[in-house]
Amino acid sequence: MTKRNVEALFDGYDADPVAALTDALRIVLERADDTWPDLVRAAGFSETRAAALLLAEPVALDELAAELNELRTLPDT
């Protein structure tokens, strides 16, 4: 992700964190048409983390946003 992509992530995060993270994961995973559930499954997260993300648990969403901000990619799973 570029700095501009990260800025876009955080510009929309407060209003709709799942939509903002969907856009970010589409870039990171190079899967422009995938839905949120498809992206979460494709990312290779643990079952526990994937379930938390699919339930839109705030802590899980915040952690993913922070990781994308810091790493500009997905962490090794």
Q: Is the pLDDT of residue 77 over 80?
A: no
Query: In whole numbers, what is the pLDDT of the chain averaged over residues?
Result: 94
Is the pTM value of this prediction over 0.85? yes
Give me the pLDDT at residue 73, please.
87
Let me know: does 53 contact 40? Beta carbons within 8 Å: yes
E strand or H helix that includes residue 12: helix 3-13
pLDDT band at 29 (very low <50, low <70, confident <90, very high): very high
pLDDT band at 37 (very low <50, low <70, confident <90, very high): very high
